[in-house]
Each structure stands twice: as C-alpha cells, then as structure tokens.
Amino acid sequence: MTQGFEVYSNGEEQTMSTLLEVKNLATQFHTEGGVVKAVDGVSYHIDEQEIIGLVGESGCGKSVSQLSVMQLISSPGKIVGGEIIFEDQNLLKYEANGAKMRSIRGAKIAMIFQEPMTSLNPVLTIGRQLTETLELHLGMNGETARTRAIELLSLVGIPSGENRINNYPHQFSGGMRQRVMIAMAISCNPRILIADEPTTALDVTTQAQLLELMKAMVERFHASLIIVTHNLGVVARYAQRIYIMYAGRIVEAGTTKDIFANPRHPYTIGLLKCIPRLDEEKGRKLVPIEGLPPNLINMKATCAFAPRCSTGSKRCSTDPWPPLTHIGNQHYVGCFLNDEEKKSELSA
Amino acid sequence: MSEKQTTLLGASEAPPPVSEWRRFRRVFFQRKIVMFGLIVLSLLVFTAIFAPWLAPHDPYRGKMADSLSQPSMKYLMGTDIQGRDTLSRLIYGSRTALMVGFLVVGIAAIVGSALGLVAGYFGGIPNMIIMRAMDALMGFPMLLLALLLAAVLGGGIQNVIIALAFATLPGYARVMHGLTLSVKENDYIMAEKAMGSSNARTMLKHILPNALPPMIVLITVWLGLTILAEANLSFLGIGIKPPGAAWGSMVNDGYQYLLMNPILSFAPGLTIMVVAFAFIMVGDGLRDALDPRLRGLL
C-alpha cells in the first residue's frame, strides 16, 4: 500500500527554510459600491514542513489571500500589489492562467476547499477526478494512474478503494468526500497544502479525524500546511504559528504558544475570550466581541478594529493603521497599545 | 499512522450500487406517450435505412397512365399528378427529413453550444460579442430567417441545412450560455482550477458534462421542430429540388388536388405531425428521466 510513497527519514537537524513568502499582498474587488480591499498589505511566510494557521472572522480576507496565492481571483477581483515568492520565483510574475501557473497549481501548491459536498464534480466518478490530476501533472495514464488512485484512497482512510473508485461523489458522505479531496490534493506530492476552512462544514468527530489525517499526510509527504479557519481551537493543536487577520490585514502573528499565552492585540484577546478553555477558572463567562466586522468597501485608513475595541486610544481614530511591530520571538502585533500599562489593563 | 487509521475508522463498505440507468429506464418507459414516440422514431429510422427495400415503386419516376389514381391494391396511397406512388415517396421522404433534421441539429447544436460555452465561461468582451450576435439572429423569426437565407443561397438541400442551422443557432447558444453561467459558479470548478486544469480542459471535461442533460433534451425536441421547419420550407418551394421526395413539398403538390385526392396531402401532412410530435414527446420523456430536480418525484 505504501508502494510509490517513499518515506525517507530526515533528521530533526534539517534546517527549515522559507518555502513560501507573501509580501504586502493586496487584492481588491472593484464593485459598483466602491473598492473592496479584501486583502490589504498582507505579509506572511511558511517554512518547509511547517503548519501555520490563518485565523479570522468571515469576510476578513483569509480565503481571498489564499486564492490570491493560487491566482484564482476572478473578475471583478484583482491582485493589485505585492509579491508571492515560492521556491525563489515570484508567482505574480506568471500569467494567472498560463502554463507555468497551472503547473504549480495542484502540483506544487494544492488546495482543499470548505464545502466537500460541492467540491467534487457530480457527473464524474471520483476515480476519474483523481486520475485526472495524476495525468495532468505526473503524466501517468490508464492502469498506473488507477492503481495510484486506489493507493491514495486507502492512504486517506477510504477502504476498498478498488470498488469506491467507480463511485460518484453523491455516494459518499461529507467526511468521505473531504477525504477524497485530501487524496486529490496530495496526489501530486505538493510542497504546500492550503486547507481553506477544511472542517467547517463537517461534524465535530469528523473534523478531528480529518485534521489528524491532514497532519499525517503533510508529515508523510514532507509538505507544509496552511490551515485557514475562523476557529482558533482548530489551529491550537496543529499549527506551529498563527496569523490573526482582521479586515484584510494581519493584526497579530506569533507562535501558537505566544498567541494563546500572551495575546497582545485586542482582537486576538477578544477572540480568545469568546472560546471556552479547559484550563480556565470555573464560572468564567464567555465574552463576545461587540459589534460586527466592518464593511470592507471604501475603508478608512485608520484601524478597522477601533470601533469594536474596548481599549482604544485617541490615536486609533486619527493615525493610520499601525504597522506590525516586533515585540518578541516571532511575535508581531499591529496595535498602538504597546505600553505596559495598557497591557496589564487588557489582561485583567 | 494511516494504516492504523484505515482499520480504526470503521468506515462503511461501498454502498450497494444504485443504478442510475435503472432509474432512467423506469422513468423513461413509464409514460405510454413516450413509448409511442419511441416506437414512431424507431419505425422512422428503420424506414429511412431500408427505404429501397420497403418502397413498392420507384419514388421518382411514375407511370403517367396511373396519374392521380385513387388508393388501390397497386398504389396503397394513390399516385400524384405524375403517376408516382405516394407511399414510396413518403418512405423516401423519411430520408430527407431525418438527414436534414440530424445534420441541422448536429451542426447548430455543436456550433451553438461551443459559442455559448465560450461566451459564458469567459464573460466580458467575448460574451458581449457572441451573445449580442445571437440576440440579433434571434430578432428574426426562425422561419423568416431561414427563408431569407435559403432565398439568397438558392434552393437545394445543402442550402436548406445551412439556413436552418443558422436560424436555430441562437437557441442552443443561449441555453448553453445560461447553463455555463450557472455551472461555472460551482465549487468544483474552482477546485478543478486549483488542481491546475486549463481553461479548455475545465470547459470540456467539467462544465460540458454537467450541462449535457438539458442539452440532450433540447436537441431531441429541436429535432422534431427542425423536421417541421424543413417541411415548412419544402412546402414553400424552397428546399429539396424535384424530383427529390420531401414531405413538405408533397403536401404542396397534393394541395392542388385536395378535393379530388385528399390523401396526397394528408398522408405526408399527418406523417410530419406524428414525427414532430414523437420527437417532442421523447424529448419530454428524456427531460423527466434526466432532470435531477425531478428525482424522487418520478
């Protein structure tokens, strides 16, 4: 079953180098109502064999930033600036639908989507869809591709693949379909797997299984994993580093430990206050963040979180959005509240 | 880890195969009228293929002595003014009808679908050019446009085919355009692109198969309508040249002797009606059987 998937042991000593670096990415949608700055100067990076989390509310630009990396933004959306450096090449230099970009999509960077129920073509068998990717990128054909597809299915925990391969997507449950999606995504041995809210549409038991599966797969294939989610709990266990996004910007970045133990941005603190924790004192009430995420049309240059922020200062409504500042080991925060006084006030 | 997982999961075995084909057969053959249509069409195809063996007389050369004879044992449906056997001409006419029908629908459906697919998939300027051109074509009543084209190009069966294909083109393009617009918004199209599929591949392998069932229905119905349109053109004297046999021109030929020998017009007229009706009924049955929204209801 493991045939064809060489697993070589690479020691812990291997130095991790940056695999993907996104610099100042900006993606805008020109709508009738005005310009929507869905992604506004986002920078992040992912190292080899690293798992990172990208967390934020709905509509904060998480998915758009990932689709921008794949150059899958369609009109009226447009990537207006920034660089996406992958394996020393700037992906934005390539034409969105050109051969070069297509050879990266699916083969080097693969993506898993939110809705397993609709992410598979209903009129093709899953075997056909699995082998298609193999034919496209690895030049496999006929029996070879079929054998590999069956192997992939058993790898993602779908038994009797030789029968299931002839099934249509509607004969699979949501969790099983997401497994098929994972099998498709890893089929060409990608360097990076982007999971865009991979478990949102599934029930909790399946969520855990699939996250474990994804982790196992990226470990096996020595790939990196970007988990895009609105659920801090999902990334807490798997991600090494977390990026918190708000209104198209990254407001805080740091190791998972730092984010959970020492959150510095009021938004991150708010997010953490509204999820239950096992290690908390008894009787703590969950505190929601007041208000709604801002409409991204024609936004002001000031901090978009200020209207919902409980600790805002005068500067927040006058000065432009604070840049990310380094505040410790891999920990960055984009907020004016950096003095000790405010910090203690927040954590109280 | 994954080996362990495979056994731990306890995932169900493959469910018993639900045969889509069985459901299709059940729904499709359920309605008697569809069965009737199917039988008529089978007979039509059979007749067209074996016309030389089935026709009792030469359809093109008649005996002037037997001109306008009433139905008899020799001439089951009588003869026309030139003494040609009506039944034989009717049998040979099925070849004209089917050939024109299939060729016109084949050309128009392929070209129209391709145009609609490209317009819907790319949107923007290609969409504007293609769809506005289709709208302009649609502005003319179909038969009038076909008449105009046939008049400009001259008679003859190939010109009738070109004219009818041109006139019916927008119908296919518009339906395909609409289907493409709705199919391309599906997540699986995005997922497919994320797998590195090219535009052409996405269109042909993923959008087209999803748009096919409604197109099949449209094509079947339009086969009937096209045969009807061809008969119309033939009736008006544009179309197959004499002495070729076409149902529409037979109706026109017999029309002058309607009171003397009504079967000359009625036989081809009724044939046209029944064939067009059969195609439309089969199309209707196909819609019932293929439309996923009717699943569970039928």
Q: Any bridge partners for residue A89, and if so which? A: A86
| pTM to 2 decimal places | 0.80
Whether residues A88 and A122 fall in one domain: yes
Three-state SS letters, B61-98 = CCCHHHCCCCCCCCCCCCECCCCCEHHHHHHHHHHHHH
Which residue of A lies nearest to B6 if distances are taken between CA atoms? A157
Whether residues A234 and A251 fall in one domain: no
Top residue of A101, A123, A134, A173 to mutate, by most chain B CBs within 10 Å, is: A123
Q: Do B196 and A104 touch (CB under 8 A)?
A: yes
Q: Do B197 and A121 touch (CB under 8 A)?
A: no
Distance from CA of A15 to the nearest CA of B (A): 25
Whether residues A95 and A229 fall in one domain: yes
Q: Distance between CA B195 and CA A185 in Å, rounded?
A: 8
Give chain A positions within 8 Å (CB) of B18: 171
Asked if the structure places residue A281 within a domain, the reply is yes
The tens place of each residue's pLDDT in chain A, 348 residues long, gives 334 444 444 444 445 688 899 999 999 998 888 888 889 889 999 998 899 999 988 888 888 999 999 998 887 888 998 899 998 889 888 888 888 888 899 889 999 988 888 888 888 888 989 998 888 888 888 888 999 999 999 999 888 888 888 888 888 888 888 999 999 999 989 999 999 888 887 888 888 888 999 999 999 999 999 999 988 888 888 899 999 999 888 999 999 998 988 888 888 988 888 888 777 777 778 888 888 888 888 788 888 888 888 777 777 878 888 888 888 888 898 888 765 445 555 554
Give the CATH number, domain containing residue A173: 3.40.50.300
ipTM exceeds 0.85? no
B59-76: per-residue pLDDT in tens? Answer: 887 777 777 777 877 777
- pLDDT reported for residue A341: 46
Q: Do A119 and B11 touch (CB under 8 A)?
A: no
Comparing CA positions, the residue from B205, B199, B117, B122 lying closest to residue A99 is: B199
Q: How many residues does chain A have?
A: 348
Percentage of chain B lying above the pLDDT 90 cut: 32
Q: Do A110 and B194 touch (CB under 8 A)?
A: yes
- Confirm or reject contact between B124 and chain A (CB < 8 A): yes
Asked if the structure places residue A3 within a domain, the reply is no
- Confirm or reject contact between B196 and chain A (CB < 8 A): yes
Asked if the structure places residue A6 within a domain, the reply is no
- pLDDT reported for residue B260: 83
Q: Which of A105-119, B140-154, B263-277 has the lowest mean pLDDT?
A: B140-154
**B196 closest CB neighbour out of A118, A136, A212:** A136
User: For residue B183, is pLDDT > 70?
Assistant: yes
Whether residues A225 and A325 fall in one domain: no
**B188 closest CB neighbour out of A75, A120, A212:** A120
Give the dihedral of Cα atoms B175, B181, B187, B189; nearest 10 deg: 80
- Confirm or reject contact between B295 and chain A (CB < 8 A): no
Give chain B positions within 8 Å (CB) of A124: 205-206, 209
Top residue of B18, B192, B207 to mutate, by most chain A CBs within 10 Å, is: B192
Which one of A214, A239, A264 terminates a domain?
A239
**A105 closest CB neighbour out of B13, B123, B194:** B194
Distance from CA of A241 to the nearest CA of B (A): 24
- pLDDT reported for residue B77: 79
Asked if the structure places residue A11 within a domain, the reply is no
- Confirm or reject contact between B65 and chain A (CB < 8 A): no
Distance from CA of B204 to the nearest CA of A (A): 13
Asked if the structure places residue A2 within a domain, the reply is no
Whole-number Cα distances in Å, A224 to A10, A108, A152, A240, B289 = 15, 11, 18, 11, 46
Q: Do A105 and B15 touch (CB under 8 A)?
A: no
Distance from CA of A277 to the nearest CA of B (A): 28
Q: Do A123 and B210 touch (CB under 8 A)?
A: yes
Asked if the structure places residue A13 within a domain, the reply is no
Query: Is the CB of residue A33 less than 8 Å from the CB of residue A52?
Result: no
Paired sense of beta strands A241-246 and A249-255, if any:
antiparallel
**A107 closest CB neighbour out of B192, B196, B199:** B196
Whether residues A84 and A214 fall in one domain: yes
Whether residues A203 and A256 fall in one domain: no
Asked if the structure places residue A264 within a domain, the reply is yes
Which one of A224, A239, A254 terminates a domain?
A239
Query: Is the CB of residue B271 less than 8 Å from the CB of residue B247?
Result: yes
Give chain A positions within 8 Å (CB) of B210: 121-123
Helices (H) and strands (E) in chain A, counts: 12, 12
A254's CB contacts (< 8 A; 6+ apart) are A241, A242, A262, A328, A330, A331, A332, A333
Distance from CA of B119 to the nearest CA of A (A): 15
Give chain A positions within 8 Å (CB) of B195: 105-106, 110, 132-133, 136, 184
The CATH architecture that domain B29-52+85-292 belongs to is Orthogonal Bundle (1.10)
Domain range holding A275?
246-347
Q: Distance between CA B229 and CA B276 in Å, rounded?
A: 10
For residue A128, with 0-12 CB atoms within 10 Å meaning exposed, 13-18 middle and 19 or more buried, which class applies? middle
Q: What is the DSSP string of chain B?
A: -HHHHHHHH-PPPPPPPP-HHHHHHHHHHHSHHHHHHHHHHHHHHHHHHTHHHH-SS-SS---GGGTTPPS-SSSTT-B-TT--BHHHHHHHHHHHHHHHHHHHHHHHHHHHHHHHHHHHHH-HHHHHHHHHHHHHHHHS-HHHHHHHHHHHH-SSHHHHHHHHHHHHHHHHHHHHHHHHHHHTTSHHHHHHHHTT--HHHIIIIIIHHHHHHHHHHHHHHHHHHHHHHHHHHHHTT-SSPTTS--HHHHHHHHHTTTTT-THHHHHHHHHHHHHHHHHHHHHHHHHHHH-GGGTTT-
Q: Do A155 and B209 touch (CB under 8 A)?
A: no
Whether residues A231 and A294 fall in one domain: no
- Confirm or reject contact between B19 and chain A (CB < 8 A): no
Distance from CA of A116 to the nearest CA of B (A): 9
Which one of A239, A255, A270 terminates a domain?
A239
Distance from CA of A55 to the nearest CA of B (A): 21
Q: Where are the domains of chain B?
A: 29-52+85-292
Asked if the structure places residue A12 within a domain, the reply is no
For residue B225, with 0-12 CB atoms within 10 Å meaning exposed, 13-18 middle and 19 or more buried, which class applies? buried
Whether residues A120 and A62 fall in one domain: yes
Whether residues A213 and A257 fall in one domain: no
B205-245: per-residue pLDDT in tens? Answer: 899 988 888 898 899 889 999 999 888 888 888 877 777 78
Task: Count CB neighbours of B179 within 10 A.
Answer: 23
Q: Do B188 and A70 touch (CB under 8 A)?
A: no
How many domains in chain A?
A: 2
B105-122: per-residue pLDDT in tens? Answer: 999 999 999 999 999 999
**A106 closest CB neighbour out of B3, B11, B195:** B195
Give chain B positions within 8 Å (CB) of A125: none
Count of A-B CB contacts under 8 Å? 101
